[in-house]
Amino acid sequence: MTRRCAAAWLALAAGLVAGCGVGPDQAPVTAPARAPQPAAQSPGSVARGTRTFIPTCDAAGERAPTVYLLACADANYGVVEVTWQGWGTARAVGVGVAVLNTCVPNCAQGRFERYPVNLVADRPAATEAGWFYRRLVVLPRGGPTPGVPDREVYELRRSSKGVPGGGPVLR
C-alpha cells in the first residue's frame, strides 16, 4: 500500500473510531504484548530484509508495513500499529492492532472495533522485484474476541507482472 493510501486509510479508521463513541469499557489497546520470537533462520532461508515485500491492495508491495489493509474492496478491515521482528527472513512475526468495521446494522453505519493481534508472514518467493511473502496469518491475542475467528490465513498474490500485489485473499 502506498504511504498516501495507508495514511488515508489510517485517518479514516481513526476518525470513524473516534466518531463512534468508544466508551471506557472499550478502551483502545495502548501497548501490544510481546510478540513470539521468529523461527531460527535455516541456511537456505531468505536474508534480504531490504528487498522483501508483502503484497498490498494497490499492487505496489510494502516493506515491513506499520499499516496493512486486509479488506481491499471496502477498507473495512486492516491492521495498524504493526511492529515486525525477523523481516526479510523466512518467517516474519508482527504485533499490531486490528481495526474491523462491525457492519451493524450495515457497513455504512457500523463502527470500528479494535483488538490486538499477532501476525506471521511466511512462505517467501523470489520475483524480479525481490522477495515477497506469500502467506499472512492473523491471530487475535488475549483470548477469544466475539465475532472474530481464532485464526485467519491469507494467501498473498503477485500481480500479472510478477511483482508483489493484488492484495490478500482469505482462505
Q: How far apart are the first and last CA of the chain?
A: 21
How many residues in the chain? Answer: 171
Tens digit of pLDDT for each residue in 102-146? Answer: 999 999 999 999 999 999 999 999 887 789 999 999 999 987 777
- Residue of 65 and 171 predicted with greater confidence: 65
Angle value at C-alpha 90, between 89 and 93, nearest 5 degrees: 75
* CA–CA gap between residue 95 and residue 119 (Å, rounded): 6
Question: pLDDT class for 61, splitting at 50, 70, 90?
Answer: confident
- Nearest of 121, 115, 157 to residue 137 by alpha carbon: 121
Ordered by start, the domain boundaries in the chain are 3-170
